[in-house]
Each structure stands twice: as structure tokens, then as C-alpha cells.
Amino acid sequence: MKVKGLKLGLCLFASGLWAGCGSPGPPMPPSLELARPVRDLRATRKGDRVYLSWSTPFETTDKQRIRHPGVTEVCRSLTAAANDCATEVARLPELRTPGRRPPDQRSQASYADRLTQDFQRTNPLSLVWYGVQIQNSYGRTAGLSNRVSVPASPTVPPPDDFQAQLGRDGVKLTWSAVSLPAVPELRFIYRVYRREAGAKTDQIAGELEAAGQSSPEILDRNFEWEKTYDYRLTVVTLVPGGTGPQQSVEGEDSRTRRVVAHDVFPPEPPAGLAAAFSGPDEKPFIDLVWTANQEPDLAGYNIYRREPGGELRKLNPEPVTAPAFRDSQVAIGGRYLYSVSAVDVRGNESARSEEAAEGAPAQ
């Protein structure tokens, strides 16, 4: 009886343990260890280089942490329909997966592919397509990433003699004409960028059609005085888009030219100065008028007077804003010679105009 009771107690104890653990579910299938395909591949082109970047996956297709990373294949094709790695242009080292990361903290990977001059000349109107696929340590992959493309069209090296010179009218940008590929469907333009010292973004200072230019130049007037700028030039290839939008590819950049836009350039001397004495029975005065200057930074005018054989004297304490002035400090019987200069907002003063003579005859 004791033996039977002991057996019954053991069975009940074992049953209690089993019930406490719950019923086991179906066994999980083994992970295929295939990294999730990349979905954010991006491509930009500058000159002969195509710059690819993407987020490295940290999970497998069955949402497990990658444990057996392999190499990354960078694939290139001349057709968008390819769904496998038609041409492998690079094999990058195996992924490094320090641990599970949220999607906004994924590490970034990149690669720069070079398009040879022969490749560009052979495919001037084609698109070149890229994809990446990530293998596991067994050489298996879940497939290509999203596909991205850039034009395969030829680009043009920049001229060696790009120059930027500050003048009264603006920054004069000059260079020698470059040799252009003989592809009738392609257009080429010169593009000059301007960047203010310390800034992080460029502005287009000007563009010019490249064909037919023997001595190309651009005059940049859209800068601010008393600031420092860096200028660079690139030749842009414009590619017809067929049914889609036109695409463009920039060549390499020229050397940067720095310009300190310090204004030491005075306005032009005023022209057309005329002087007229007041009529009879009026308090004596002499009116001066002249043609207005057109400089956008003009502050006003200074008026000068002298008597024959006498010293020159400025009549106004502050610049006169209108192209006219009345001199009421004249003496009957006197004779006066007047001249006018223009002044800009930075205090640069022009040469004086030609003199205009007028007298104050006795009544």
C-alpha cells in the first residue's frame, strides 16, 4: 500500500508541474538568416563618380537579429527590368551588427562607383541602374534592394583658368571655352556657384549656354558688398528625358576663387550740370540741375562752388538726394563756378562734374 501511495503521489506531483508550465506550442522553424532587403538606396552623380548610400539592415526577413552577416554586392545594369545582380561592381565587407536598433538609428553604408570615359561615350543617352543585395555567411540573399538610376551621359572637365574679379559693376567671372562631346541630343551649360564665407549652402551665380561661346563670361551682380564669397564653375550635361523630365549631370568643379567684396568703387561723375540765376525782382539765388545718377547704392550728391581764382568750397553739409540745388548765398555782381560729385552709401565719392558758370548781375 505504501508503494502504491508513493507512485500516486509522484504522478500527481509531476502532473502539477506539467500543468504549471502550460502546453507546449508547435516548434518554430529554423531562421533562414536572410537579411532584409535594403529599401532606401539613394544615388547621386558628380563627374565620373556615382555616390550610393543606404541604411544597413539589422534584422532578417523573419524579424530575427542578424547573426550570420555576409558581404554586400553592389550591382549595376543598363536596364530597369533586371531583378538580379547583372553586373557586380563591388563586393563590400560583411555587415557589422552591434545589436538591434530602432529604424531611425540605423547605421549608414556608402559606396562610390566610377563610370569610365568609354562607358559614358558608349551610353550617352542611357540610364545606369543600381541595386545592392546583402548575403548571409552562406552566400544566400533575400534579393535586390530598391533600384535607383542616374544618367550615364558623358560629363565635361572644368576649365583650368576660371577667374573671379571684383569690379564696379559686379564680380566678373571668366574662363576658357571647353571641348564638348559631339552628341547632338545633349546640351551643355556652364554653371557658376557662389557661397558666402561661413555658409553651408551654395547659390547659382549664373548659367551660360556652353555651345558657341569663344570667350565665356558671367557678371554676378547679386551679391552683397562687404562680404566674402567663394566661386566655382562646373559644366552641366543636360539629358533629354523622353516622356519624363529633363535630367542633368554636373561635371567636376573648378578651383575655388575667393572674392572679398569690399566696395572701393565710387559712382560715376554726374553729367549735364546747368546753372541759372533768379529772375529780376527776386531775392538773388542760382539754381543748379543735373542728370540723376543710376547707381543702386547712391546716397546723394555734393555741391562745390568757387569764384574765379578762388578756392573750392563745399556748399552742403550732408549729401543732397535730389539732382537739384539752390544756392542762396550769392552776392550781386558776383560770378561763380559750380561742380557736383556723387557719393554712395559707403562714402565713396566720384570725381567732380564739369563746371557750370553763372553770374549774379546787378538789378
Question: In sequence order, what are the beta bridge partners of 326?
Answer: 287
Cell of 106: 540605423
Give the other-Cβ count within 10 Å of 146's Cβ: 14
pLDDT at 14: 43
pLDDT at 94: 76
Q: How far apart are CA 87 and CA 111, in angstroms?
A: 15
Q: Torsions phi, psi of 129, nearest 5? A: -105, 145
Helix-strand-coil percent breakdown of the chain, rounded to 5?
10, 40, 50
Instruction: Identify the helix (H) or strand (E) that includes residue 70.
Output: strand 69-77
User: What is the third-level CATH fold of 271-359?
Assistant: Immunoglobulin-like (2.60.40)
Which residue, among 153, 163, 159, 154, has the nearest Cα to 178 in the 3D structure?
A: 159
Cell of 79: 536596364
Q: Where are the domains of the chain?
A: 42-151, 163-260, 271-359
pLDDT at 122: 95
pLDDT at 336: 97
3-state secondary structure 296-316: CCEEEEEEEEECCCCCCEECC
Q: How far apart are CA 179 and CA 115, in angstroms?
A: 19
Question: In sequence order, what are the beta bridge partners of 72?
Answer: 92, 134
Domains 163-260 and 271-359 share a fold: yes
Which residue, among 127, 126, 133, has the nearest Cα to 41 in the 3D structure?
A: 133
User: Is CATH 2.60.40.10 the classification given to domain 42-151?
Assistant: yes
User: Running DSSP on this structure, what letter comes out for residue 346?
Assistant: T
User: Running DSSP on this structure, what letter comes out for residue 225?
Assistant: T
Q: What is the pLDDT along the chain (363 residues), one digit of tens a residue?
A: 444 544 444 444 444 444 444 455 555 555 678 999 999 999 999 999 999 999 998 889 988 888 888 999 999 999 887 777 878 999 998 766 555 555 445 689 999 999 999 999 999 999 999 999 999 988 899 999 999 999 999 999 999 999 999 999 899 999 999 999 999 999 999 999 999 999 999 999 999 999 999 999 999 999 999 999 999 999 999 999 766 788 999 999 999 999 999 999 999 999 999 999 987 777 899 999 999 999 989 999 999 999 999 999 999 999 999 999 999 999 988 999 999 999 999 999 999 999 999 998 876
Q: How far apart are CA 141 and CA 135, in angstroms?
A: 5
CATH of segment(s) 163-260: 2.60.40.10
Instruction: Identify the helix (H) or strand (E) that includes residue 289.
Output: strand 286-291
pLDDT at 328: 93
Q: How far apart are CA 294 and CA 245, in angstroms?
A: 42
pLDDT at 69: 85
The answer to whether the CB of 171 falls within 8 A of the CB of 219 is yes
Give the other-Cβ count within 10 Å of 221's Cβ: 10
Cell of 24: 507546449
Instruction: Identify the helix (H) or strand (E) that includes residue 49.
Output: strand 49-55
- Sign, CA dihedral 326-330-334-338, equals negative
Instruction: Identify the helix (H) or strand (E) that includes residue 134.
Output: strand 127-136
The answer to whether the CB of 273 falls within 8 A of the CB of 290 is yes
pLDDT at 1: 47
